Structure 1
Amino acid sequence: MRLHWIVAGIVVAAPLGAEGLTRAAASRFAGQVLKSVEREYPNKLDHTMAGVKDVKGPRELHPAFYGCFDWHSCVHGHWMLVRILKTFPDLPEAGGIRLALDRDLAPENIAAEVAYFVDPGHRGFERTYGWAWLLKLAAELRGWDAPEAREWARQLQPLTDAVVAQFEAFLPKLSYPNRVGVHPNTAFSLDLALDYARAAKDAKFEALLTERARTYFGKDRKGPMAWEPGGEDFLSPCLEEAALMAKVLPAREFKPWVEGFLPGLLKTGLLAPAVVSDRSDPRIVHLDGLNLSRARCLHALAAGLGPRDPRAKALEKAALEHAEAALPHVVSGNYEGDHWLATFAVQLLGERR
């Protein structure tokens, strides 16, 4: 259902997404994700087996995050549940969310996840997309001043510490960033990790992340927006980079940087939403996620320019068009998208709220 605004005495329909995360949308998304985090199969494991002893099912390997088709989707599904519970603590689904978080973040489950992470045979597991979402979950819990949130954060902390250690060991060795529209995208992972570093007041980790962002992207010019999107992208390589740099650079540095990096987009503000031809295809449905993540980045880009910049209005318009193209399809009845798209919707709408 679309929100309606009254403008000059005339009732007009506002674009989907303009109102931010509504109670009705939060309830619908929470209901879907609560079912998904408990659904073990189908499942796409990222798992290296050294022998027969390693032949195990998802729940045995990952007792905290076994659902939602894959580990990273289950992690960010839990982030979405925390964000919704924090925003709407009296939703009908609130009791189910609390039960799921109590169950899945239990100390014994997190201990098993840590053991998996530190096993040398699993080096590179979920690097760096899953790592980043785990830190985003930890940041969300840290940013919620409630006894239950503090307890869940405390229980999650051993895994959080293991992931920070993985980032700190890996990033100095990553000579070149990954500039792709899918999971290994470096800019997206740095963005989420930076949220955690700032929430945790971890100055050492924040310094590493900002140094890496500047080193990887600080000299970039003329980002190839014309090459986007790829056929299975759910992230925009250029826009994710711009959104990260809006967070890293002070305004006096960001404006000249982005003017050099996205001159065409800033000149016109024109960017057409991606067309999704088959939502039952697990790769093509990624493009719904691309429309949502593009909308989030366009909002971030407009905010980085500032409300007085005349270019921001066109970017905001493009963001709403992308949101409107994707939001009706977040829960479509196809598990290929239903197990993960609600997270991208809440990430977008929650920041708009």
Structure 2
Amino acid sequence: MKKSVVTFALAAGLALAACDSGNNQGTATEDRTLPAPRDGVVTDRFAHMALSCIHRQYPNKISHVLNSDADVGAPRELTPAFYGCFDWHSSVHGHWLLVRLMKLDPDSPFADIAEDALAESFTPENIKAEVAYYTAEGRKSFERPYGIAWFLQLVAELEESTHPVHQQWRETLRPLEEAIVTKMTDWLPKLAYPVRLGTHNQSAFAFGLMLDYARTVGDGAFEALLAERTLDFFEGDTSCPIGYEPSGEDFLSPCLMEADLMRRVIGEADFAVWLGRFLPRIPRNGKAGWLEPAIVKDATDGKLVHLDGVNLSRAWALEGIASALPEGDPRRTAILAAAAVHKDAGVKAVNDEHYAGSHWLASFATYLETKRGIM
């Protein structure tokens, strides 16, 4: 099989250029040989991209509170399990991507390499250090809620797997999982208002992933708290201004992510009625034109390339919304038509040409292609 060499940056100075440069890889490198993606298997391309970054340390953007000189350190020292892929949350969902594809496609030519790479990250020592970092003074809001939700999704993926190695990793991650659930359980009742942005702090997207986690692991108390907060925040919403979307740096739709969350907590008949109030202009003509895909004018810009992500996340939210409506609902055809054009635009944009997008878009594409939010 044709081989291609992927270079991983493992050591360099903290002052390296930011992600927008897309080319700086550090001064010391480790080469791993990855198989070429199989023809027609789009998820192989996504696995290739994740393996190209989960142990690539630089460029790196950290959100790091310093309490003293002792807190100064390289990313691989501060968070030794999740230091690659430019930032903590992208590293986490890059690891999730590999676990998901190992589980769904165990015969993939990437499976063994993915297992080796994940085993390098998922050690008791690394997770102990992650817990120490996460629970340290001044980090109450670290990666809350976006990165936290993706970590819990990673745990849910492992929980569902029957693979012995996955079960071992699931136990290895448990200390960080428990610290996160404890902190989220304390925070959720204090959140007076939802965050309706189209970026990392959005409440609806994170609540959806956390709900799926709680149901997968059987944490009824956490599930009940999330469902209660969801209804408190969103049950009475009407006429979401989807025509104002997307904002210039969105990677999540505020309106569609809210609807995709609400279909998780209310029954089919109630959801159909709620959706009519919330998005009253969804057409019944079966056409996709009511929601146009976003346009990216500079794929090297780490903020502007977010809009490739909004196309992918809109597509999976639309598919989720349609899945929760009755079969005969006249809106389903137009919803699925819009999902299809967004999926086409989004998946076409997922490539390794520019690190600004390649370090994270493959995870969004995998979530969509494998229907994670529905299955």
TM-score scaled to structure 1, two decimals? 0.92
Relative to 1, partners in 2 of residues 1:98 and 1:34: Cα closer, same or farther, differing over 3 Å?
same
Q: 1:56 aligns with which of 65, 73, 85?
A: 73
Partner of 1:13: none
Partner of 1:283: 303
Q: Which amino acid aligns with 2:106?
A: P
**Equivalent-residue separation in structure 2 for 1:309 and 1:272 (angstroms):** 22
Cα contact 2:284–2:333 (8 A) shared by 1: no
Q: 1:35 aligns with which of 52, 74, 81?
A: 52
Q: By how many angstroms is 1:267 displaced? A: 5.0
Cα contact 1:265–1:271 (8 A) shared by 2: no
**Equivalent-residue separation in structure 1 for 2:221 and 2:342 (angstroms):** 36
**Equivalent-residue separation in structure 1 for 2:174 and 2:284 (angstroms):** 45
**Equivalent-residue separation in structure 2 for 1:151 and 1:304 (angstroms):** 34
Q: Which deviates more, 190-199 or 269-278?
A: 269-278
Partner of 1:84: 101
**Equivalent-residue separation in structure 2 for 1:108 and 1:263 (angstroms):** 52
5+ residue gaps, structure 1: 1-21
1:253-296: CA deviation from partner (whole Å, max 9, x where unpaired): 11111110000125566100001111011011000000000000
Q: By how many angstroms is 1:248 displaced? A: 1.0
Cα contact 1:141–1:150 (8 A) shared by 2: yes
1:220-260: CA deviation from partner (whole Å, max 9, x where unpaired): 00001111000000000000000000111111211111110
Cα contact 2:282–2:331 (8 A) shared by 1: no
SS in 1 for 2:198: coil
**Equivalent-residue separation in structure 2 for 1:103 and 1:239 (angstroms):** 37
**Equivalent-residue separation in structure 1 for 2:309 and 2:282 (angstroms):** 20
Cα contact 2:207–2:230 (8 A) shared by 1: yes
1:26-54: CA deviation from partner (whole Å, max 9, x where unpaired): 21111111110010000000101122211
| Alignment map for 1:295-306 (pairs within 5 Å) | 295-306=315-326
Q: 1:316 aligns with which of 317, 325, 336?
A: 336
Relative to 1, partners in 2 of residues 1:88 and 1:202: Cα closer, same or farther, differing over 3 Å?
same
TM-score scaled to structure 2, two decimals? 0.86
SS in 1 for 2:324: helix
Matched, 1:194 2:214: no
Partner of 2:9: none
Q: Which has the larger helix fraction?
A: 1
**Equivalent-residue separation in structure 2 for 1:221 and 1:239 (angstroms):** 13
Matched, 1:260 2:277: yes
**Equivalent-residue separation in structure 1 for 2:283 and 2:58 (angstroms):** 44
**Equivalent-residue separation in structure 2 for 1:289 and 1:205 (angstroms):** 28
Partner of 1:211: 228
**Equivalent-residue separation in structure 1 for 2:169 and 2:326 (angstroms):** 36
Cα contact 2:59–2:86 (8 A) shared by 1: yes
**Equivalent-residue separation in structure 1 for 2:242 and 2:362 (angstroms):** 26
**Equivalent-residue separation in structure 1 for 2:363 and 2:88 (angstroms):** 14
Partner of 1:336: 356
Q: Which amino acid aligns with 2:185?
A: E
Higher relative contact order (CA 8 A, sep 6+): 1
5+ residue gaps, structure 2: 1-38
Q: Which amino acid aligns with 2:342?
A: H
Partner of 1:161: 178
Matched, 1:350 2:370: yes
| Alignment map for 1:100-249 (pairs within 5 Å) | 100-249=117-266
Q: Which deviates more, 80-89 or 305-314?
A: 305-314
Partner of 1:6: none
Partner of 1:3: none
**Equivalent-residue separation in structure 2 for 1:306 and 1:160 (angstroms):** 36
Please give the root-mean-square deviation of Cα atoms over the aligned residues, in Å: 1.3
**Equivalent-residue separation in structure 1 for 2:310 and 2:80 (angstroms):** 30
SS in 1 for 2:264: helix
Q: Which deviates more, 121-130 or 306-315?
A: 306-315
**Equivalent-residue separation in structure 2 for 1:80 and 1:33 (angstroms):** 7
Alignment length, in residue pairs?
332
| Alignment map for 1:68-79 (pairs within 5 Å) | 68-79=85-96
SS in 1 for 2:138: helix
Q: 2:293 aligns with which of 273, 280, 285?
A: 273
